[in-house]
Amino acid sequence: MSQVRLRFAPSPTGYLHIGGARTAIFNYLLARKLGGQFVLRIEDTDKERSKPEYEDEILNAMKWLGLSWDDSPLRQSLHKSFHRETVDELLERGAAYRDFLTIEDAKKLKDEAMRKGGLVAFRSPDRYLSAQEAEERAMSGEPHCVRFRIPDEAVIYQDGVHGRVEVGPDTLDDFVLLRQDNSPTYQVAVVADDYEMGISHVIRGDDHISNTPKQILIYKALNWKPPQFAHVPLILGSDRKRLSKRHGATAVTEYRKQGFLAEAVLSYLALLGWSPGDDREIMTMDELVEAFDISGINNHSAIFDEQKLEWMNGRFISLKPTNELVELIEPQYVEKVRAGVLPEETQQMLPIAVELLKTRVRYPQEVLEKGHYFFKDPETIEDRKAAKKRLKDDDLPERLERLADEYQKLAEAFNAQSCEDALRSLAEELEIGTGKLIHPTRLAVSGQGAGPSLFEMLEALGVDSVTRRMRWLAEFLREKGTPPDLGSDEDN
């Protein structure tokens, strides 16, 4: 049984949190790196809080991130009898005992011990009952729980992130394995299931580190080989407090809705608290799998930086094939058509708008927002600063019309090169710098002072739109002056 098998074990009591996703990613990467399997276990034993919609959401978010799993997910709640059998086995081996103390009495004893001597590990007096007496009382139906009998020796293990960990018996309570209502606890369920699923490595958050010695003791008592553990420091917000809703979105789905690409979220989270050992900041799934190693996980907390994630999103957008981005943006286009924001008939401009803008946006939807001029004529000059600076020559309306005439002449041969040539020769003829035509033309066709390469944009828009917009600006300037009076200046 030296097979490599890793698992992700979400509790379906909430959405897939950024931290949970990172745990899933690390387990996935190590499994794939070592040529092993990656499996899922739905830890749904908390009936009150577990919801099928959370489960769906978690699985969908994982699929979206590209974290495919092997086998069908194991549902922990269906395994209770195995968990109970495991407790029986521990009882039989003397590694566990029946505790007839009521919960309240146990608490009283703990509190008393605390008051007397500070931190004392809890041992129930029933730990010392004879096996026979305990069995008899249990048989007679006396309520009790089952506790693990902490042995009198330290637990020592090698943590993949923190190195050698040693925990003395005096800090470990005789913890509960089976509650009075006969329900198995997390500690025994997780060990029984990890064992049964043949899990070889467990990467999980530091919030589980106090569970690990207890779990290792259960493995030892049963003579089962424990998996290798690695505990990853938690993700913090910018104020160095544990990442929570106060810091903004924490659900993976929320990022998806906002327009983050799965590739960007994957790469960002993988690199949050793990490093490939070089300064790569953009990594694909294949590259991550290739480079992943537990030794690259940092032993200090990582700070979640949404701006960095945004930047990464922009990088991944610029690298993504145009047709895939178009597919992603199309539904949003349709939405905008429905809302009357964009016209239906210019949808064919989408691929070219994506192609020309994808290096300039951080979110896919910005192609529609920033690049609305690909789909409809500008109604004003949005970029007021550029308007003031670039639209101030008195003869600009005539100049724009002259260039529009030249462009009209190109008709069939209207392309980036011919547009550039025509503009340059007109500038020469008028004895002005090319900038005097380039900037006003850009403002005419887009309403913006900056954007993708002008001549490519002109070719994409086509001769009719371009000349119509240039003539529009000429008229606009005659009406509003040079530079145009664009109303209140407060946006600048």
Show which residues are catalytic.
245
Residue 147 CB, nearest distance to ligand GLU (Å)?
A: 20
Cis peptide before 483 (omega within 30 of 0): yes
Of 9, 221, 309, 386, the one binding ligand GLU (CB under 6 A) is 9
Given the rule CB under 6 A, which of 5-13, 120-128, 148-156, 305-313 is the region that contacts ligand GLU? 5-13
Determine, following the binding rule CB under 6 A, whether residue 361 of this chain makes contact with ligand GLU: no
Q: Report the residue number, 208 or 308, with the smaller CB distance to ligand GLU.
A: 208
Determine, following the binding rule CB under 6 A, whether residue 317 of this chain makes contact with ligand GLU: no
Q: Report the residue number, 205 or 276, with the smaller CB distance to ligand GLU.
A: 205
Q: Report the residue number, 4 or 234, with the smaller CB distance to ligand GLU.
A: 234
Q: Report the residue number, 20 or 447, with the smaller CB distance to ligand GLU.
A: 20
In angstroms, the CA 64 to CA 427 distance is 52
Determine, following the binding rule CB under 6 A, whether residue 43 of this chain makes contact with ligand GLU: yes
Determine, following the binding rule CB under 6 A, whether residue 440 of this chain makes contact with ligand GLU: no
Exposed, middle or buried, 239 (CB in 10 Å: 0-12/13-18/19+)? Answer: exposed
Determine, following the binding rule CB under 6 A, whether residue 242 of this chain makes contact with ligand GLU: no
Of 11, 50, 86, 465, the one binding ligand GLU (CB under 6 A) is 11
Q: Report the residue number, 196 or 330, with the smaller CB distance to ligand GLU.
A: 196
In angstroms, the CA 315 to CA 38 distance is 29
Given the rule CB under 6 A, which of 7-15, 45-53, 256-264, 446-454 is the region that contacts ligand GLU? 7-15
Q: Report the residue number, 231 or 358, with the smaller CB distance to ligand GLU.
A: 231
Of 84, 204, 362, 372, the one binding ligand GLU (CB under 6 A) is 204
Determine, following the binding rule CB under 6 A, whether residue 10 of this chain makes contact with ligand GLU: yes
List CB contacts of 102: < 8 A, sequence separation 6 or more.
143
Of 75, 127, 162, 208, the one binding ligand GLU (CB under 6 A) is 208
Determine, following the binding rule CB under 6 A, whether residue 190 of this chain makes contact with ligand GLU: yes
Instruction: Take residue 84 and report the two structure tokens written for it.
Output: 């109970």
Give the residues lining the site for ligand GLU (CB under 6 A): 9-11, 43, 190, 204, 208
